[in-house]
Chain A
Amino acid sequence: MAPTEAPSKSATTAPPALISWSGSAHARHLRTVRVMWQRELIRLSRSPVGLLMSLLTPLMFLMVLGTGLNSAMRTAGNDADFRSYFLPGMLLMVVQAPAVNTGVSIVWDRQAGFLREMLVAPVRRSALITGICLGGATAATAYGALVLGIAGVLGITYDPLLFAPVLMELLVTTLALTTLGALAAVSIKRIETFQAVVGISMMPLLFLSGALFPVSGLPGWLNGAVLANPLTYAVDAMRRTLSDAGTGGGPHWWGWQPPVAVEMAFVGALALVVLAAAARRFSRID
C-alpha cells in the first residue's frame, strides 16, 4: 500500500487514496491496545465526583469500623493494630468497583451502540479487550494508590518503600478482577443479568478471601472455596508485603505456604487465562 496522503476532494475518476496502515501489524495491535487503555482512563477522569464518592465508603470502613474494632480488640487484650490487618482488604474493596466497572462499561457500550464502532474497525478484537482490561486495571490501581496514600496520612503505618510492590500486586489483582468482569460482560448480553451476576459473585469473593477476617475461622467445608478464590492469594500477598504480622494465617497448599511471588504468579496466570477466554468469546462473530 503506497503511503500517499489522502486528498479530501478529488475528481470522480480518482477517488481518495486509501489511507495507509502505519507500521507493522504488531505495532497496529499495540496501538489498538493503547487507544482502548486511554479511553478507560479518560472515562475515569470524566467523573471526579464519582471517584471521590467511591472512595468514601472504604475510607469510612477503615476509619470507623477499623478504629472501632481496634479498640474492641484492645479491650479483649489483643495488641495488633486491626487497621493494618484490615488495610489489604480495604484496598481490595476500593479497587473492586472500578475494576468491575470496566465490564459494566463494555455492557453499557453495547447498549449505547458505541461497541459497534469498535467491532467494525479493522483491528483484532483481542487487542481491543486487552486494552480495555489493562485500562480498567490501571484505573482501579490508581484508586488503590490514592487510598494507600490517604491511609498513610491517617497514621496507618507501613514502610513507604513498600508502596511500589503493593501497587504491583494491586495491578495484577485488579487485572484479574477486570478480566473476570470483561468475561462476564462479553458473555452476558443483558445489562440486568450482568449486574445481578457481578453483584452476587463479588460478596463471596471478598468474604472468602480473608480480607475482612481470618479464613481459619470459617467452617472446613468452605476451605476449598477459599483456596480457589484468587483474592485469597492477593490479600495474603499484600498483607505479607505490608507487615510481618499474621503471616501464618494465609492459604496453604497441602501444608506448604506458597511464597508471595508464587501467590501473585497464580493470580496473574488466572488473569491471563480469563483474558484469553474473554478475547475468544469477544472475537466470535455471530
Chain B
Amino acid sequence: MNGNGGAGTAVLARGLGKSYGAVPAVRDLDLTVSSGEIFGFLGPNGAGKSTSIGMLSTLLRPTAGRAEVAGHDIRHEPDEVRRRIGLVFQETTLDVDLTAGQNLRFHADLYGLPRREGRDRALTMLELMGLAERHSDPVRTFSGGMRRRLEIARGLMHTPRVLFLDEPTTGLDPQTRAVIWELLHQLREEQGITVFLTTHHLEEAEHCDRIAIIDDGHLVAEGTPATLKAVVGADLVVLRTGDDDTAVRTIRERFGLEAIAEPRGIGLRVSDAAGFVPLLCAELTIPVHSVTVTPPTLDDVFLHYTGRTIREIDDGGPQTKG
C-alpha cells in the first residue's frame, strides 16, 4: 500500500477491525473504493456498517488494521481526513431550532470557511438540493425528506472529496428516495465526488457502481451488482398450476430438477429461463395458470453468500444498531 493511497483511490482499508472488549463489531475489513465511485455497503442491521463508517470518518478508533480516506491516514491525520469528507448520519444531526441557513453557517464556521465563501456556498448548495426558498425557515418545520436533503447540502458545504451517507434514505417515502438518488448521481457526474453509503435496502444497492456485502462484522462479497448477480447465475421460474404435486413430479422426471414450494406456487432455478419455459409448458399435461421468470436479485446474492435473506435477519429478534 503506498503512502497516499494513490490519486484514484478514495477509500482504502486493510485489515480494518473494531472490537468492543472481546466482541468484534468489524473484522479484517479490506476495501478499495475508487474516486468518483458510488459504493454501497450492504448488510442487515447490526452487521457492522455504521461501525465501519464510524472508523473511516475518524469518529471511532479502529482496534486493528489501517485505512486511508482521501489520501490521508484516518488514525494519524484525522483532521486532514475530516476536512475532505462529508457525513450524513442515519439520525438527524441538524439543530432544529435554527434555520436552514443558520445550520449551514454554523458548519461553515466550524470548517473554517471564509465568511463570504461560506455564504455563497450555502446558497449554491441549497439551490442544488431544491431548498433555496426555505433558507430562512426553521428546520423544525421541515419534512423528513427536506431534512435529509439539508443534511446532504451541509455535508457538501466544505467541498468534500468523499461523501459518507449512513442509510441515507431510511424512513423516506419512495418519491423522496428517488430524488435523493438523483442528487447523488448528479453529484458524482458533476463534481466527481465519491459516494460511500450504507443501506439494508437491496433495491437501493442497484443504484451503486459497486457494492460490498457485510454480514456479522466481515465482508462476504464485493463487486458490481451485475457481477454479484452473475455469481448466483440462475433465473427463478415460478409456476402456478392446477396440480402442484403432479407438476413437481413431472419436472423431476423430465428435467431432473427439484422444484420447491413457493408462496406463489412452485419455484425452480434454471440458467436459461427464456428457453426453458416453452419446453416446460409442452411437457406439463396439467393446467398452467401463470409462469413468472425473475432474474437474480441482490437478495438472492445475499442469500447465496450468507445462507439467509436480508429480511430474515432484519425481522428476527432484537438488534443492535449496525
B159 touches A16 (CB 8 A): yes
For residue B87, CB closer than 8 A to chain A, the reply is yes
B109 touches A120 (CB 8 A): no
For residue A121, CB closer than 8 A to chain B, the reply is yes
Q: Mark B67-90, 1 if CB is under 8 A from A, else 0.
A: 000000000001110111001010
Q: Which residues of B contact A123 (CB under 8 A)?
A: 110
Q: CA of A28 to CA of B84 in the docked complex: distance in angstroms? A: 17
For residue A31, CB closer than 8 A to chain B, the reply is yes
Closest residue of A by beta carbon distance from B123:
A8
Given contacts A17-B159, A39-B106, A113 and B111 within 8 Å (CB-CB): no
User: Per DSSP, are chain B's interface residues mostly helix, strand or loop, or mixed?
Assistant: loop
Contact of B111 among A14, A16, A116, A121 (CB under 8 A): A121
Q: Which residues of B contact A286 (CB under 8 A)?
A: 60-61
For residue B59, CB closer than 8 A to chain A, the reply is yes
Q: How far is the CB of B103 from chain A (nearest CB, A)?
A: 9
Closest residue of B by beta carbon distance from A128:
B110
A22 touches B114 (CB 8 A): yes
For residue B91, CB closer than 8 A to chain A, the reply is yes
Contact of B89 among A19, A22, A46, A113 (CB under 8 A): A113
B59 touches A116 (CB 8 A): yes
For residue B246, CB closer than 8 A to chain A, the reply is no
For residue A75, CB closer than 8 A to chain B, the reply is no
Closest residue of B by beta carbon distance from A10:
B191
Q: CA of A15 to CA of B71 in the docked complex: distance in angstroms? A: 15
Using a Cβ–Cβ cut-off of 8 Å, how many residues does chain A contribute to the interface with B?
A: 39
Q: CA of A91 to CA of B271 in the docked complex: distance in angstroms? A: 82
Q: How far is the CB of A48 from chain B (nearest CB, A)?
A: 14
Q: How far is the CB of A121 from chain B (nearest CB, A)?
A: 4
Given contacts A113-B92, A121-B82, A19 and B110 within 8 Å (CB-CB): no
Q: Which residues of A contact B109 (CB under 8 A)?
A: 31, 35
Q: CA of A19 to CA of B60 in the docked complex: distance in angstroms? A: 25
For residue A117, CB closer than 8 A to chain B, the reply is yes
Given contacts A121-B111, A123-B110, A19 and B61 within 8 Å (CB-CB): no
From B93-101, B207-215, B249-257, the one touching the partner chain is B93-101
- Interface set, chain A 96-112, CB cutoff 8 A to B: 112
Q: Mark A35-46, 1 if CB is under 8 A from B, else 0.
A: 100010011001
User: Per DSSP, are chain A's interface residues mostly helix, strand or loop, or mixed?
Assistant: loop
A122 touches B83 (CB 8 A): yes
Given contacts A18-B83, A23-B112, A39-B106, A113 and B93 within 8 Å (CB-CB): yes
Q: How many residue pairs at the A-B interface have CB separations less than 8 Å?
A: 105
A121 touches B110 (CB 8 A): yes
Q: CA of A15 to CA of B78 in the docked complex: distance in angstroms? A: 21
Q: Which residues of B contact A46 (CB under 8 A)?
A: 97
Q: How far is the CB of B162 from chain A (nearest CB, A)?
A: 11
Closest residue of B by beta carbon distance from A47:
B97
Closest residue of B by beta carbon distance from A12:
B192
Q: CA of A175 to CA of B95 in the docked complex: distance in angstroms? A: 25
Q: Which of B92, B97, B110, B190 has most chain A Cβ within 10 Å? A: B110
For residue B107, CB closer than 8 A to chain A, the reply is yes
For residue A118, CB closer than 8 A to chain B, the reply is yes
A6 touches B121 (CB 8 A): yes
For residue B225, CB closer than 8 A to chain A, the reply is no
Q: Which residues of B contact A39 (CB under 8 A)?
A: 106
Please give me the 5 A-B residue pairs with the lowest Cβ-Cβ distance, nearest first. A122-B82, A8-B124, A121-B110, A113-B93, A35-B109
30 A–B contacts, CB within 8 A, in A order:
A8-B128, A9-B190, A10-B190, A12-B36, A12-B190, A14-B192, A15-B159, A15-B192, A18-B159, A23-B112, A28-B112, A32-B110, A35-B110, A42-B98, A43-B97, A112-B92, A112-B96, A113-B93, A114-B94, A115-B93, A116-B59, A116-B93, A117-B107, A117-B154, A119-B59, A121-B107, A121-B110, A122-B83, A122-B112, A286-B60
Residues in B lying within 8 Å of A, measured CB to CB: 36, 57-61, 78-80, 82-84, 87, 89, 91-98, 106-107, 109-114, 117, 121, 124-125, 128, 154, 158-159, 161, 189-193
Residues in A lying within 8 Å of B, measured CB to CB: 5-6, 8-19, 21-23, 28, 31-32, 35, 39, 42-43, 46, 112-123, 285-286
